[in-house]
Structure 1
Amino acid sequence: MPRLSEVIAALDALWPPSRAEQWDAVGTVCGDPDAEIRRVLFAVDPVQEIADEAVELGAQLIVTHHPLYLRGTTTVAADHFKGRVVHTLIKNDIALHVAHTNADTADPGVSDALAGALDLRVVRPLVPDPTDPSGRRGLGRVGELDHPETLAEFAERAAKRLPATAQGVRVAGDPAAVVRTVAVSGGSGDSLFDAVRAAGVDAFLTADLRHHPVSEATQQSPLGLVDAAHWATEWPWCELAATQLDEISDRHGWNLRVHVSHTVTDPWSSRFSSPGAPN
């Protein structure tokens, strides 16, 4: 069995911490470098439900996309919900490792997994990494559909292919507009509108779109916007990352058992449509 330090070295090779944004908090949150690792659980959020799932599964390592502590803290006391997660992990000898913005821009990364879930053929990064000579790393992806479809049909594709959430999928733009090229970005993406317009795509699928950026975007161009739940746009990466670790395990003869959590940790739990609201 590999030790935690060996598994972390492999994960850091996939998603180098040096490529994370300066404001980000990636890497190992807790765990003994010498501990043996047999089972690994991938998830989007390091919340209590995921910690409990890891305990039940008998995992020794959780890898999440979102950080537990994005900002500094002075306590991990168990009377706070994040402290309870830390206590659960340490009491059960479970390590926690985070790959966030370093996984967003990786090749393949979060947006590659999102594009794959939608059956898009990836053409290039939406915002290329200027330090990458291959031109494949960067934020977001630009992709092509295998055949043109309307914006409404593409939104239905997203609703069927992405994990189900209470939010579902929202659309801004003409439902009948023809879509051939699509930009995608897992997680919050309304800061990328300039890059999306410059890419000349027909539609942009992301999450957490706000009123004013969407209003301005729809006034500036006929760009179709598809807004899915944040968790749903990033969950496909868990499957991709688990496959990558499986391949590493096979190559090294580690015999790891790698799992993906299907627990929905999107915080929105219900949705109620107003009578007479647009469909």
Structure 2
Amino acid sequence: MGAHDAAAAVAPAPRDDASAPTLGDVLVAIEELWPASLAEEWDAVGLVAGRLEQVIRRVVFAVDPTREVVRDAIERGADLLITHHPLLLRGVKSVAADQFKGGAIHDLIENHCALVTVHTNGDSAVGGVSDVLADILGLQNVSPLVPAAEGLPEEGIGRVGTLPDALALGDFASRVFGALPAVAGGVRVAGDRDGIVRTVAVCGGAGDSLFDAVREARADVFVTADLRHHPASEAREAAIEDRPYLVDISHFAGEWLWLPVAAEGLYNVLVDQGFAVEIGVSSINSDPWDFILTPGH
């Protein structure tokens, strides 16, 4: 399914016999699903804009808090936008409306739409980004690639597991390609097309800092995003019997897969608590690339 073709809503409309939660109530549910303690030290997660007493009737999930995503959420009547990537990860000296980040903040506040970030805590948690990627690729016996310092044994960055049946690298890469939303960059692969893979390591988002863990896990292939030239080249040089092979995917596409699962999870927690809320997934493709040229095309 392409990102633009995603269903606008992944949860039923609010029930008449239940009350809408406040933003404070939603934050409690978010903490239950994706504890802030799982976030990396450098990260910026949690509430970015909004009043705790604000009533939340409609929530939209998205990967990036781009201006287009923000405006789309507002047009859809969202009271809360939850994005995977932070808007204010790096320090800013101004939120003037004529700047991108300031403009997004002004749009949100002026339209009474709160903003919450679930980033590396959403990566590490059970059912997080890498868990979803591992599940979609059919991995079994899944465990964290780098276990969380504080958390459950199942929590941590990345996942490693095994395919029920070994596949040729080319066939496995095709499975990866078919599972992702359609974006310009496609999928890049390093390794023997006919090489056999069984143990698979995955990391949603940029994972080229995890090569030591991938090698320790003896993964046949590593699926992640944003593989830079030097780390990828060095990983290939350090390969043992040509492993791990590399499958480089779109950062946006790999993390978009988590959104419907996250939306359903938050909906279920809130409904179990007696609240009525509508939760959807943004259909905006915020991948930064528009087209790609390849030899012969």
TM-score interval, smaller chain:
over 0.9
Which residue of structure 2 lines up, in the alignment, with residue 262 of structure 1?
A: 283
Q: TM-score scaled to structure 2, two decimals?
A: 0.90
- Would the alpha carbon gap of residues 191 and 65 (structure 1) be closer, same or farther in structure 2, given more than 3 Å must change? same
Aligned partners of 1:85 and 1:245: how far apart in 2? Answer: 24
Which residue of structure 1 lines up, in the alignment, with residue 251 of structure 2?
A: 230
Which residue of structure 1 lines up, in the alignment, with residue 80 of structure 2?
A: 61
Aligned partners of 1:254 and 1:131: how far apart in 2? Answer: 30
Q: Which residue of 196, 219, 230 corresponds with 1:178?
A: 196
Tell me if structure 2 keeps the 8 A contact 1:115–1:122. no
Consecutive unaligned residues of structure 2, counting only runs of 5 or more, are 1-19
The 5-angstrom pairing of residues 75-154 of structure 1 reads 75-132=94-151, 134-154=152-172
Which residue of structure 2 lines up, in the alignment, with residue 241 of structure 1?
A: 262
Tell me if structure 2 keeps the 8 A contact 1:167–1:270. yes
Question: Once the 2 structures are TM-superposed, how far is the Cα of residue 17 of structure 1 from its aligned partner?
Answer: 1.7
- Would the alpha carbon gap of residues 122 and 89 (structure 1) be closer, same or farther in structure 2, given more than 3 Å must change? farther
Q: Considering Cα pairs closer than 8 Å and 6+ residues apart, tell me whether 1 or 2 has the greater RCO.
A: 2
Question: Once the 2 structures are TM-superposed, how far is the Cα of residue 119 of structure 1 from its aligned partner?
Answer: 2.2
Q: Deviations 1:66-116 (Å, cap 9, x if unpaired)?
A: 000111212111100111111111111000000111111111211001112
Q: Which runs of 4+ in 1 moved over 3 A?
A: none
Tell me if structure 1 keeps the 8 A contact 2:139–2:164. yes
Which residue of structure 1 lines up, in the alignment, with residue 42 of structure 2?
A: 23
Aligned partners of 1:110 and 1:122: how far apart in 2? Answer: 17
Tell me if structure 2 keeps the 8 A contact 1:231–1:266. yes
Aligned partners of 2:41 and 2:155: how far apart in 1? Answer: 18
Q: Deviations 1:233-265 (Å, cap 9, x if unpaired)?
A: 111111121011111122022121010112110
Q: TM-score scaled to structure 1, two decimals?
A: 0.95
Aligned partners of 1:225 and 1:248: how far apart in 2? Answer: 37
Tell me if structure 1 keeps the 8 A contact 2:38–2:148. no
Which residue of structure 2 lines up, in the alignment, with residue 209 of structure 1?
A: 227
Which residue of structure 1 lines up, in the alignment, with residue 273 of structure 2?
A: 252
Aligned partners of 1:42 and 1:178: how far apart in 2? Answer: 37
Q: Which residue of 145, 154, 160 corresponds with 2:178?
A: 160
Aligned partners of 1:260 and 1:146: how far apart in 2? Answer: 31
Aligned partners of 1:91 and 1:146: how far apart in 2? Answer: 51
Aligned partners of 2:252 and 2:140: how far apart in 1? Answer: 22
Tell me if structure 2 keeps the 8 A contact 1:117–1:162. no
Tell me if structure 2 keeps the 8 A contact 1:112–1:122. no
- Would the alpha carbon gap of residues 181 and 174 (structure 1) be closer, same or farther in structure 2, given more than 3 Å must change? same
Q: Deviations 1:45-84 (Å, cap 9, x if unpaired)?
A: 0111111111121110010110001112121111001111
Tell me if structure 1 keeps the 8 A contact 2:34–2:125. yes
Aligned partners of 1:89 and 1:130: how far apart in 2? Answer: 35
Helix, strand or coil for the counterpart of 1:142?
A: strand
Helix, strand or coil for the counterpart of 2:291?
A: coil
The 5-angstrom pairing of residues 34-45 of structure 1 reads 34-45=53-64
Tell me if structure 1 keeps the 8 A contact 2:37–2:150. no
Consecutive unaligned residues of structure 1, counting only runs of 5 or more, are none
Q: How many equivalent residue pairs?
A: 275
Helix, strand or coil for the counterpart of 2:210?
A: helix
Amino acid at match of 1:111: S
